[in-house]
Amino acid sequence: MSACIFCKIAEGEVQSQTVYEDDRVMAFKDLNPAAPTHLLFIPRKHIARVGEAAEADAELLGHLQVVVGKVAKDAGLKDFRVVTNNGRGAGQSVDHLHYHLLAGRRMNWPPG
Ligand code: AMP
pTM: predicted TM-score of the whole model, two decimal places? 0.98
92 lines ligand 1 (CB under 6 A): yes
**Residue 2: its pLDDT value, please?**
79
**Residue 75: its pLDDT value, please?**
97
Domain borders along the chain are 5-103
- Cα of 31 vs centre of ligand 1, distance in Å, is 6
Spatial contact of 43 and 37, defined as CB atoms under 8 Å apart? no
91 lines ligand 1 (CB under 6 A): yes
pLDDT at residue 51 greater than cutoff 80: yes
Residues 55-99 have pLDDT tens digits of 999 999 999 999 999 999 999 999 999 999 999 999 999 999 999
Spatial contact of 86 and 50, defined as CB atoms under 8 Å apart? yes
Q: Which atom of ligand 1 is nearest to the CA of 34?
A: 10
| Fold (CATH) for 5-103 | HIT family, subunit A (3.30.428)
pLDDT at residue 1 greater than cutoff 60: no
Catalytic positions: 98
